[in-house]
Chains A and B, each alone.
Chain A
Amino acid sequence: MTTPGAPDLSTHLGGIQLRNPVLTASGTFGYGTEFAPFMDLRRIGGFVAKSLTLEPRHGNPPPRIVETPAGMLNAISLENVGVNAFVEEKLPEIPEGVPVIASVFGTEIELYAEVCKRLMGAPKVVGIEVNASCPHVQSGGIEFGQNPAVLARLVRTVRRAISLPLLVKLSPNVTDIAEMARVCEGEGADGISAINTLQALVVDVETRRPSLSNGLGGLSGPAIRPVALRMVWQCARAVEIPVCGIGGICSAEDAIQFLLCGAAAVQIGTANFLNPMAAAEVVEGIEGYCTRHGVERVSDLVGAVDFPGR
């Protein structure tokens, strides 16, 4: 329902109809209900739930996070309740009218497909995001997103397993992210999510050991935003399917940069930690920007960057 004169914020993301282009990123929004005290979840476009595996996972021992300049490193190792508990216990708690994109992770391609199958027909689940890029699980993740042949096999297998809209979340830890986007498009993905965290390291000079128990971690937050924006711009130029922009977005201005560089929608990640109302504020800010600039449809902003010489 839009007010006359109000900008149309609705957007499409690979067959997923969204009331506005602001989603929240997997691993930063729990299973949604944690944010209910702070905002009406129906104000945002939807959310991507914490990555699910077939069996529950406990995750890494502490320390799991460390702060960095305008960012943070994490090595949680995909702690989650498992797909069955998600469907049986978590989904019913999410209010009606809140689109859920389920994020899926597995240590083997067949496990991804099995998790996806269990999500078919689950209420509120409007799409699947395959996490092909988690940089802190030694047994998997990184290989899928870093090797075009492996990534192709993964997307092909999941594509065959499900009829739901399929997004693939890419790893930024590659030489040419556009090539990875093209691989996903070629194997039938409906959209690209980019980027996941950048593989990174912090060392404690007192102990001369890495600050995280896992050693390496994934860098997120405003520190990665310009890198993410460049990669989203490259992906959007490389493929016809829509791109969902992710990486350090904290404000409407940040989000609009991604839209202008070709993202059909965005995901708010680390900002949810420091401001549990961040995603709702970004929606409001985009609406205000559209009104101020006479933009009737937010989709008119997508790819509208005026790039010199291109």
Chain B
Amino acid sequence: MAKPLRVDSEVISNAAEGGVSRRLVLRIEQGWPEAQPGQFLMLSPGARGRVERYDPLLPRPMAIFRTRRMGGEAAVEVLYKVVGRGTALLADARPGERVRLVGPLGRGFPEVSPGERVILVGGGTGVASLFDLARRSSKRARVVVLLGARTAADLMGRADFEGLDVDLQVATDDGSEGATGFVTELLEREIARGDTARVYACGPTPMMRRAAEITGTAGLPCLVSLENRMACGFGVCLGCAVPRADQGYHLVCQEGPVFESGDLSWEGLP
């Protein structure tokens, strides 16, 4: 695994995209290692410019949506929505300002095998973890992408996925876009087609838990990428522990964020 960096990145752009979705593009001048799909960053929303700020104190874990290379430089994209103080401050970052980050962190998704059929299930902000996996896998495997959100306005990253060679399906709880209902209902339908597949899921805990149940019943492997509170992102604060299926805890930042669904105790997840 590539060694993570701690750098002050430069904001290239940070704009709303319609609905709740915002896209932050950060320039990292040098040394950015190749990130695996599913890895994440810790972004410090409070430490911009030359003035240190300690409120809010902690960096925020964010999925790496995509990385583009420009010579030795890297442009790292993050898709997010404003949910609290940290993301509200992040939304204020203007082009040219500096955002401190640590990354890439965690263990991402295992590589998809050539010709394999994979189903990617994303809900809410969870779709951000899946884009790079979809992009890379679409060149070698048969990729089905199922995106879900409460309403059309909450749907994130749709235009990006439309640009890929994937079978894209959408569901919203209120039917304002795509099928009406939960994205996991689309998953059941896809699995019912009979073709074996590996399932990758990232989204709210109830969505991933349902995906784990559905794949469990069907006897299919399911990988989930967890979102959790964490203070450090690299295995020392022990704040991001989630219960294992047997006993004890996994650290989301270090052993995850990607786990086999069967390795987790779903009842105990935050």
Contacts and interface: CB of A to CB of B under 8 A. Distances in A.
Verify that A and B bind, or say they do not.
yes
A204 B92 CA distance: 26
A61 B4 contact: no
Interface centre among B228, B236, B240, B241 (most CB of A within 10 A): B236
Given A67-B56, A76-B241, 5 more contacts: A58-B247, A64-B238, A66-B229, A222-B57, A276-B234
A259 to B, nearest CB: 20
Q: Name the prevailing secondary structure of the A interface residues.
A: loop
Given A29-B236, A34-B234, A34-B236, A62 B241 contact: yes
A67 B57 contact: yes
**What class of interface size applies to chain A in its complex with B?**
35 or more
Contact of A72 (B57, B228, B238): B57
Given A28-B237, A274-B57, A59 B249 contact: yes
A61 B243 contact: yes
B138 interface: no
A65 B54 contact: no
Interface centre among B234, B235, B239, B269 (most CB of A within 10 A): B239
Contacts of A35: 236
Interface in A228-265: 250-251
B242 interface: yes
Contacts of A272: 232, 236
B238 A59 contact: yes
B206 interface: no
A35 to B, nearest CB: 8
A121 interface: no
Contact of B239 (A61, A64, A274, A276): A64
Contacts of B232: 272-274, 276
A148 interface: no
Interface in B218-270: 228-232, 234-243, 247-249, 268-270
B52 A276 contact: no
Nearest to A63: B270
Contacts of A5: none
**9 tightest CB-CB pairs across the interface, nearest first?**
A65-B239, A273-B232, A30-B236, A273-B231, A37-B3, A58-B248, A222-B54, A70-B54, A70-B55
A62 B251 CA distance: 11
Interface string A45-77: 000000000000011011111111111101010
A23 to B, nearest CB: 15
A58 B249 CA distance: 7
B58 interface: yes
A38 B6 contact: yes
A209 to B, nearest CB: 13
A155 B261 CA distance: 47
A187 B56 CA distance: 42
A221 interface: yes
A20 interface: no
Given A72-B231, A250-B52, A273-B236, A59 B241 contact: yes
